[in-house]
Chain A
Amino acid sequence: MNDHGEIAWCPGCGNFAIRDALEGALAELAIPPREIVLTSGIGQAAKMPQYLAGNYFNGLHGRALPVAVGVKLARPELTVIVVSGDGCNYGEGGNHFLHSLRRNLDLTVLTCNNQVYGLTKGQSSPTTDLGRMNMFDPRGNENEPLNPLALAIVLGAPFVARGFAGEKEHLKGLLKEAIQFRGTAVVDILQPCVSFNKVNTYAYYRKRVYRLDVPGKDRREALEIAEIQGDRIPVGVFLKDESRSPRETAGRLFRKSVTPGDMENLLQKWHGAA
Chain B
Amino acid sequence: MECTILIGGQAGQGLASIERELAALLFRLGYFFFATKFYMSRIRGGHNDHLFRIAERPVHALSGESWDVLVSLDEETQRRCKADLSARGLCLSPAEIAEIEKRAKDGFSNVVMSNPLLVGVLLRIIGVRSDALEAAAREEDQPAALLAGMALAEEWDMADRFVLQPRAESPYTFDGNSAIGFGSLLGGCQFMAAYPMTPATSLMLYVAKAALELPVHFEQAEDEIAAINMALGASYAGLRSMVATSGGGFALMTEAVSLAGMTETPIVIVIAQRPGPSTGLPTRTEQGDLNVVLSAGHGEFPRLVYAPGSLQEAVDLAKRSFEMADRYQIPVFILTDQYLADSIQLLEGSPELSVALRQYEIFDASYRRYALTPDGLSPLTYPGLGEALVRVDSDEHTEAGKITEDLDLRVRMVDKRLRKASRMDKDAVLPTLYGDRDADICLISWGSNREIVEEAADRLTSEGHPVAALHFSQVYPLVPAMLEGVSLAGKRLIAIENNATGQFAGLLKRELSLEINDMILKYNGLCFSVRELCDEVAARFFVPGGVK
| Interface residues in chain A, defined as those with a beta carbon under 8 Å from any beta carbon in chain B | 5, 8, 33-35, 37, 39, 42, 47, 49-50, 53-60, 63, 65-71, 73-75, 77-78, 95-96, 98-99, 249-250, 252-260, 262-264, 266-267, 270-273
Contacts and interface: CB of A to CB of B under 8 A. Distances in A.
B391 A60 contact: no
Contact of B389 (A33, A66, A95, A254): A33
Given A73-B217, A77-B384, A273 B28 contact: yes
13 contacts: A33-B389, A56-B392, A57-B263, A58-B391, A59-B259, A59-B263, A68-B233, A70-B229, A70-B235, A73-B219, A253-B191, A254-B238, A271-B347
A69 B226 CA distance: 9
B351 interface: yes
A75 B384 contact: yes
Contacts, number: 194
A41 B214 CA distance: 32
A66 B230 CA distance: 5
B165 interface: no
Nearest to B404: A5
B351 A267 contact: yes
B403 A270 contact: no
A272 to B, nearest CB: 6
B430 interface: no
A250 B241 CA distance: 15
Contacts of B190: 74, 253, 257-258
Given A66-B226, A69-B233, A253 B219 contact: no
Contacts of A67: 229-230, 232-233, 236
A69 B394 contact: no
A47 B351 contact: no
B521 interface: no
A260 B355 contact: yes
A138 B249 CA distance: 37
Given A71-B233, A271-B174, A273-B28, A78 B185 contact: no
A37 B237 contact: yes
A-B residue pairs, 6 tightest by C-beta? A70-B233, A70-B230, A66-B229, A99-B222, A67-B233, A55-B383
B456 interface: no
A270 B182 CA distance: 10
Given A63-B226, A99-B222, 8 more contacts: A60-B255, A63-B229, A73-B230, A253-B191, A266-B185, A266-B214, A270-B178, A273-B28
A267 B182 contact: yes
Interface string B6-39: 0000000000000000000001100000000000
A70 B219 CA distance: 9
A73 B191 contact: yes
A262 B215 CA distance: 10
B353 interface: yes
B383 A58 contact: no
A271 B256 contact: no
Contacts of A63: 225-226, 229, 256, 259
Contacts of A78: 237, 383-384
B173 interface: yes
A84 to B, nearest CB: 13
Contacts of B401: 56
Max chain B Cβ within 10 angstroms of own Cβ: one of A56, A267, A271: A271
Contact of A53 (B27, B210, B221, B389): B389
Main secondary structure of the interface of B (DSSP, over half): mixed
Interface residues on B, range: 35 or more
Given A60-B394, A66-B221, A256-B215, A74 B229 contact: no
Contacts of B467: none
A35 B229 contact: no
A228 B230 CA distance: 35
A35 B384 contact: yes
A257 B215 contact: yes
B402 A50 contact: yes
Max chain B Cβ within 10 angstroms of own Cβ: one of A74, A270, A273: A74
Interface in B107-165: none
B1 to A, nearest CB: 23
A141 to B, nearest CB: 26
A95 B259 contact: no
A257 B389 contact: no
Contacts of B357: 257
Given A54-B389, A69-B233, A74-B234, A255 B27 contact: no
A61 to B, nearest CB: 9
Given A63-B229, A95-B226, A98-B222, A70 B237 contact: yes
B222 A55 contact: no
Interface in B84-116: none
Nearest to A56: B391
A121 to B, nearest CB: 17
B237 A96 contact: no
B318 interface: no
Contacts of A65: 226
Contacts of A68: 233
Contacts of A39: 233
Contacts of B354: 260
Contacts of B341: none
Contacts of A271: 172-174, 178, 182, 347
Contacts of B215: 250, 252-253, 256-258
Contacts of A34: 383-384, 386-389
Nearest to B391: A56
